[in-house]
Structure 1
Amino acid sequence: MSAVTDISKKTRAETVQKIVTPLGIEAWLVEDYAVPLVAFDFAFKGGSAQDPDGLTGAGAMLAGLLDEGAGPYDSDAFHRALDDKAIEISFHAGHDNFHGELKTLARNTDAAFDLLRLCMIEPRLDGDAIERVRSQMVAGLRHELKDPNALAAKAWRTAAFPNHPYGRPTDGDLETIPAIGRADLVKLRERLFSRSNLKIGAVGAIDASKLAALIDKAFGNLPAAPSLNPVADITPQGNGERKVISVDVPQSTFRFSLPGIARHDKDFITGAVVNHVLGGGVFSARLFKEVREKRGLAYSVWTQLSANDHSALFAGGTSTKNERAGESLLVIEEEIAKIAHSGPTQDELEKAQKYMIGSYALRFDTSTKIAANLVSLQTDGYDVDYLDRRNELIAAVTLQDTKRVAKRLFEGGKLLVAVAGKPDGV
């Protein structure tokens, strides 16, 4: 094989090499020397759903601290080491996964993985860094106390997932963040980070043998397996419930939801097409036309069909003037009822398929996006062939499929609604 991989004539799946390191860590690699960069994305299964009871936000705090000093470097020295070689390393915690990203010039790959190894194996978690990150998180949470979008989202989440990790904010709250100590962070790190729950995607100017050696160097000293708490499956709650958070602002901000379709359900792709027709964030979507274009009720309105590891969700949102809040919600409910009754039209189906298939390439227009998508496929439980099958599955959706799945999603369902503002008629 030549030194430069010609990926222009391959399908997306064919560009991906599955490699297994000597220590047994699997990674997906797209080898490409067009630009002298390496993008490396990874995730540990677990995420903020593993935050200890009463310490919500611990995962997010840990994510904020891993690059705030490691090994021989305090926070300032670590960031100088990154800056000296233009290396980017960052971390964040989602509900189901704890993510990390690295980006480096190819010539600095060894140095970049040395620093990543320190983050993974030898984070300092110094007291001054903990207090600095804690203060930043508290400041953000205090700001959210006056943010209608944050308030509506929090009220919706709590009502949709009561007494469940998904009902807790990943960034914690003003009661839990002050209670998190260094020992809690150390214990969480020890439970989460391991070789067997690690998913990796890499893209760029690096070959398989070099990548395998660097992966084992960075992660090889982690435990073989994690110690994760079980997370129960949950159906989103709130059949017809209304949550109003009074905020003295001129607009009301909505979040609404219904139970969705699990990501590996045979109807998930069809559900995604139906959602695109209804409110998928494009000008042709029914809600955009009815809410914005025809009535001028809101600047934007959106819906999405999404799935976590333990729940499936149809959700949406909008913002509108307080005095038109009830009217806006009524229009949204009417459009959902219409699509439940009649489904999309043939023209709507064809436009949705064309857009969803055509725009898929935009998820792969940079190395960092490709690496992130490789990891997302793995954490979502898909094999590499999904890179090619996804568009084929969308193209195969029929009008009859969409009508059936629209009924499954929406018929008889009553929206859970959370709204922050001074809404009239809600």
Structure 2
Amino acid sequence: MTKSSLADWLSYIESQHPAEIELGLERGNRVLAKLNLGRPNQQVITVSGTNGKGSTCAMLTQYLVSQGHSVGTYTSPHFIDFNERIAINNEACNDDLICQAFEAIEQARGDTALTYFEFSTLAALWIFHHAQLDYWVLEVGLGGRLDSVNMIDADVAVVTSIALDHMDWLGDNIEVIGREKTGIARRDCLLISGVENPPVSIAQTSAEIGSILKQKGQDFHFKVSGDTWSWYNQEVRFDHLPIPSLPLQNAATVVAVLVYMGLAPQHEALLNLFAHAELTGRFQHVAEQPDVYIDVAHNPEAAVELQQRLAGFECQPIAVCGMLQDKDIHSVIASLASRFATWYCADLAGSRGAKATQLISLISKETDTSSVSCHAFETVSQAFQAAKQQALMENRAIVVFGSFVTVSEYLQMAKGKHEL
């Protein structure tokens, strides 16, 4: 296959391994050794967790860049363009650079079959190596211990949260999942846990590895006072911080990372960070007339976070929702069913996509159908257009949520219509 563009390369790497997901480090490590890549000038920060990985990576990156450091950030999935996954100083890398990385990996891999995510991860590492950056911020794709991001030893490991998700891959209980996600830690290196009510397995795994564990609720704390919040440990305290648009528990974890890394964050710099930190798809206000918010919430923990956000609305918003079959749809619906005036549900394509009628059936079981109406559509675009008509007539906001796929479909539609 002739690969003259990024689109060609992406089509090619999608075809190189029979499985979309195959956890394990052997294949990636074999190719990584041939690439002979170095490390950043300062440190590698690797972030795992059920929820909050993206916002934690975003805030860490935004802070480090604001302090004059060069930072490579690797995240997933992307919403519109693959380039979103690999960024330097908050700017997505261009097609040519990513194609160069893929070419180098293709030459190095020989007969080793790599998954799409392994190709992507190695491309990010190759790009960051050649850019000679101060820091690498790496988001784990799935789990931790066996995720391809874990090919690179973390100087600082971060676990944001632990909840039941991807149980077919990670295990069916919190203790097992905690062990998998803590597996990114390294001996004599920092492990920062932002997990509320952490499973015992985090401390156990940390002790087995020999990492330096700092846990929320034990080593550091945060509390809200009115419209500001405070972070403190035994040595340092920051008061009157603005509540960010991104989840507060992740902001508290970010401060811990900066403090325990020895970066001595200044109060003014934290004020600026939390006043301006943002990330696509995390309760993000993207349009007006009507107001539109997008949120990738797709599991119970994220649904509770969204529920708390919705409590601040003066009148009930309208939902545009699409979900995947392999998520805990019932728990998400249970948290949010009565929080919306109307539900506009959309089918999601593919074998993993749930049908709108399935969502509506669950909503009906959780609410009084006389007070909450539901409508089914074949696409997110159709659902949104119908929701928009009601929102304009009744002066309500719209919240598009339920999956990265749902938010991505909205963003592509909005981009095409120049609504953003």
Q: Tell me which interval the TM-score lies in, with the shorter structure as reference length.
A: under 0.3
TM-score of the pair, normalised by structure 2: 0.27
Please say which structure displays the higher CA radius of gyration.
Answer: 1
| Bigger relative CO (Cα 8 Å, ≥ 6 apart) | 1
